[in-house]
Structure 1
Amino acid sequence: MDSASAASWTLPLSRRAMTALVTMLAALGALSTSIYVPSLPDLELALATDAAMVQVTMTAFLIGFAFMQLVYGPLSDVKGRRIALLLGLIVFIVGNILCTTATSIEQLIVGRVVQALGACVGPVVSRAVVRDAFGVAGAATVMASVAAGISLAPAIGPTLGGLLHTAFGWQANFALLTVLGTGLLFIIWRWLPETNPHKGVHVFNFGVMRRSYHELIRNRTFMTYNIAIALGFSAMFAYITGSPFLFIRNFHLSPAEFGLLTMFNALGFMSGSLIARKKAATWSNPRLANLGTLISTLGGGWLLAQAVGDILTVPGVISGVFTFLLGLGILIPAAFAGSIAAAPHLAGAGSGLVGFTQMAMSAVLSYLVAHINRADQVPLMAIIAVAALGSLFATLRLSRATERPLASES
């Protein structure tokens, strides 16, 4: 479905309303991850546990988020985007209720896994909906707009989460997500039509899934974009996992103060997304991806230099992370658009595989951060810097790979 065939979704949803809806869906994972981050240090006392177990709630979420994306992508290709979204949002609501009522760290971990199994439907299926509704030509521009909106989640999430935590306790964060999930479920049930023009062409089974993913893995262009996204995204999650302990324990900030500081992170990502949106019409996806990973690498290098020199300060960390996220904001929309365009007939599966890879790698780095020595910030900053550098190498390889199309990509 290209932009010319948008009539199927402009009634009752307008083009602007569709963009707003897919933005909210795409931000579901980021908001679910970030809103409770200011509460992490206090959860040790509230649930009678330690810092490592508290951070496992992040790792468990990322693992569940990663694997379920492999299901939602093909499911949306075969059964339709609408049914996948409705199913996922119901699971998301149940998970948030479990988190809200948790009285032990084990119960919270279970709730976070269920929450993740539902939350991942938003990012996976929203990207496929963008491809359905706006076509290959319009996907990069729309994804840049969506990315700019998503960039608000890392700011609104911790800021709102810190305020809710201070006023009502950590449970209020998950109660709010329950309300949000219920609202999205109603909007989709009432107003979102099916956008998948290929719905029902194949039977949904593991054989189809295996063949789809095998084709995608053999597609050099798709996988290079995929690796670049995963490395950059996982570096961001390494920072998200370690930052509350860095700012609240080491720099002695309150949860509310820490939440307010995350607005600078969002400003960096949003600025990058706006640059990508402006340049999408005239710059190729590989060129934008190269620019983004170069800037991210500079930010990661500055963070590592501060840690090695033992000169970490709040302004220094914020400036380094701002630069890193500025580059990531440029990379993400270009790389997402390029990866889906590499195999448009597998838009759902492709979106799912991209999401799985980035979240699986994020889970690994999150686990590493949870078990590093908190008195030494060099490992955390080294993880961010090395991942950013790896993303740069991937996009440089991408430029060469796209000059020689493979038979599997034609």
Structure 2
Amino acid sequence: MDRPAASDWTLPLSRRAMTILVTILAAMGAVSTSIYVPSLPDLAPALNTDPALVQVTMTAFLMGFAIMQLVYGPLSDVKGRRLALLIGLSVFVVGNLICATASSIEQLILGRVVQALGACVGPVVSRAVVRDAFGIAGAATVMASVAAGISLAPAIGPTLGGILHTAFGWQANFALLTLLGTGLLYTIWRYLPETNQQKGVHVFNLGVMRSSYRALLGNRVFMTYNLAISLGFAAMFAYITGSPFLFIQHFHLSPAEFGLLTMFNAVGFMSGSLIARRKAEVWSNIRLAQLGTMISVLGGGWLLAQAVTEILTVPGVISGIFTFLLGLGILIPAAFAGSIAAAPHLAGAGSGLVGFCQMGASAVLSYLVAHVNRADQVPLMTIIAVAALISLFAALALGREEAPVPVPKSGA
């Protein structure tokens, strides 16, 4: 379906309002992940628990988010986008209420899991809504705006979270997310009709899903791209998990000051994405992925060198993570495009599997960071540097040219 003409637009929301809505939905995961990060060091004494368990709240969120990557897409195909969004947002609100009223670390971990099970609906289903509402031609323009919003979320989240924490305490972050979820729930219920005109045509078939995932797991090009993306993404979350303790406890910054520093992270990632966008027409996905991973290795190596030689400084860490995220911004769009191009007949399943692996790997590295010695920064920087290096090896293993991958037989 082509982009609907102005006279064909029948949705209650205007095009601009719809673009804003899907952008907020797509950014739900990033904001939910990052907004409470400045509060992590203070949660241990507030809940009378160990800092390692506080960091497990990040791991729990990522695991819940990873699992639901594989659920909401097929659910929205079969039962519709509107129902999937209403279910997910209701769960999201409940999860945030549990977090905001938690009086123990166990309750907070439970709340973070429930929050993740709901938050995942935003980024997964919003992409499908864009395709339904704007058509093939219009979707590309809208997704560019959505991508910009997602890139800003990791900076806006910690900045806003640090201010709220300083002014009102850590519970304020989850109270704000509760209001956000409630507002989105009302907006979807009141103004968004079903956009999936093929609802009910698809059948939720576990056999077909199993066959699709088996084909993807056996696709060397797809899985190599997937490995590069997942480890680069996981290294970023290792940093996100460990950085508040580094800046707030080691460098003695306030939560608000730490939140403001995360803006450099967003600038680095957005700069890399801009480079990838400009070079995409003349460079292959493989070449861009290799460039991105090389730059990330330089950033990870610089962070590790500072930790080993005990010369860590705030500017040094910021410059290292800026370089790492510059490379990651180049890698992710190129590797994602390359992975889907390797199996275009399984684009939906491929997108879900990439998302699952990204979040699953992030949960593993986040858990490792939660159990290292926070007084010694070498383990954290080693995790980041090694993950970046393996991501580089994966990109180099792709070779030089894009190779078409044959469509597997229907009986595979």
Give yes or no for TM over 0.5.
yes
| 1:285–1:335 contact (8 Å) kept in structure 2 | yes
Most deviating of 223-232 and 305-314: 223-232
Confirm or deny: 8 A CA contact 1:93 1:115 kept in the other structure.
yes
Deviation (angstroms), 1:99: 0.6
Q: Which amino acid aligns with 1:333?
A: P
Partner SS, residue 407 of structure 1: coil
Equivalence for 1:250: 250
The equivalent residue for 1:275 is: 275
Map 1:97-176 onto structure 2 (within 5 A). 97-130=97-130, 143-176=143-176
Aligned to 1:304: 304
Aligned counterparts, 1:236-385, within 5 A: 236-344=236-344, 346-385=346-385
Range with greater deviation from structure 2 (323-332 or 356-365): 323-332
1:125/1:348 contact within 8 Å kept: no
Deviations 1:322-375 (A, max 9, x none): 111112122223333444454455444333222111111001100100111122
One-letter amino acid matched to 2:45: L
Give secondary structure in 1 for the equivalent of 2:228. Answer: helix
Q: Is the 8 A contact 1:147 1:332 kept in 2?
A: no
What's the offset of the Cα at 1:11? 3.9
The one-letter code of the counterpart of 1:224 is T
Q: How far off is 1:388 after superposition?
A: 1.4
Residue 24 of structure 1 aligns with which residue?
Answer: 24
Larger mean CA deviation between 270-279 and 141-150 belongs to 141-150
Please tell me whether the aligned partners of residues 62 and 362 of structure 2 are also in contact (alpha carbons under 8 angstroms).
yes
Task: Specify the code of the residue in structure 2 equivalent to 1:171.
Answer: Q
8 Å CA contact 1:5–1:133 kept in 2: the answer is no
Deviation of the 1:138 alpha carbon: 7.7
1:132-155 superposed Cα distances (whole Å, 9 cap, x missing partner): 567778877755543332121111
For residues 289 and 130 of structure 2, what CA distance do their matches in structure 1 show? 20
Change (3 A) 1:82 1:406: same
Alpha-carbon offset, residue 269 of structure 1: 1.3
d(CA) in 2 for partners of 1:375 and 1:51? 12
Superposed displacement of residue 40, structure 1: 0.7
How far the C-alpha of 1:18 sits from its partner, in A, is: 4.3
Give the counterpart letter for 1:27 in structure 2.
Answer: A
The structure-2 alpha-carbon separation of the partners of 1:397 and 1:266, relative to structure 1 and needing over 3 Å to count, comes to: same
Residue 8 to residue 179, structure 1, CA distance change in 2 (3 Å): farther
Cα distance 1:309–1:298, how it changes in 2: closer, same or farther (>3 A)?
Answer: same
Q: Is the 8 A contact 1:304 1:385 kept in 2?
A: yes
- CA apart distance, 1:6: 9.7
**Identity over aligned residues, as a percent?**
82
Give the AA of the match of 1:264: F
Partners of 1:133 and 1:340 lie apart in 2 by 22
Moved more, 271-280 or 322-331: 271-280
Is the Cα contact below 8 Å between 1:38 and 1:244 reproduced in 2? Answer: yes
The CA deviation at 1:384 is: 0.9
The match for 2:225 is 225
Distance 1:52 1:6, change over 3 A: farther
Q: CA RMSD in A?
A: 2.8
- 1:192-222 residue CA offsets vs partner (Å, 9 max, x unmatched): 4545465433322433432332233234443
Q: Which shows bigger deviation, 207-216 or 34-43?
A: 207-216
Instruction: Measure, in 1, the Cα distance between the counterparts of 2:242 and 2:321.
Output: 13
SS in 2 for 1:112: helix
- Over 3 Å counting, the alpha-carbon distance change for 1:5 and 1:110 in structure 2 is farther
8 Å Cα contact 1:141-1:281 kept in structure 2: no
Which protein has the larger Cα radius of gyration, Structure 1 or Structure 2? 2
- Which is worse superposed, 355-364 or 302-311? 302-311
Question: What amino acid sits opposite 1:317 in the alignment?
Answer: V
Q: 2:106 and 2:83 mapped to 1: Cα distance?
A: 31
**How far 1:267 sits from its partner (Å)?**
1.3
Q: Aligned AA for 1:304?
A: L
Whether contact under 8 Å (1:80, 1:196) holds in the other structure is yes
What runs of 5+ residues in structure 1 fail to find an aligned partner?
none
Q: Would the aligned equivalents of 1:77 and 1:349 in 2 still touch at CA under 8 Å?
A: no
Q: Deviations over 1:61-111 (max 9, x none)?
A: 111111121111222233333322222111111100111111111111100
Task: Measure how far apart 1:274 and its partner are.
Answer: 2.5
Q: Distance in 1 between matches of 2:6 and 2:248?
A: 48
Which residue pairs with 1:406 in the alignment?
Answer: 406
Alignment pair present for 1:80 and 2:83: no
1:304 Cα deviation (Å)? 1.2
CA contact (8 A) 1:141 1:277 kept: no
> Aligned partner of 2:292: which letter?
G
Letter in 1 for 2:210: R
Secondary structure at the residue paired with 1:392? helix
The answer (yes or no) to whether the contact 1:147–1:333 under 8 Å persists in 2 is no
How far apart in 2 are the matches of 1:388 and 1:134?
37
Structure 1 stretch 170-179 or stretch 182-191: which is displaced more?
182-191
Which secondary structure does the structure 2 equivalent of 1:200 belong to? coil
Aligned CA distance change for structure 1 residues 86 and 222 (closer, same or farther; 3 Å): farther
Q: Is the 8 A contact 1:235 1:384 kept in 2?
A: yes
CA pair 219-74 structure 1, distance change in 2 beyond 3 A: farther
Larger deviation, residues 289-298 vs 46-55: 289-298
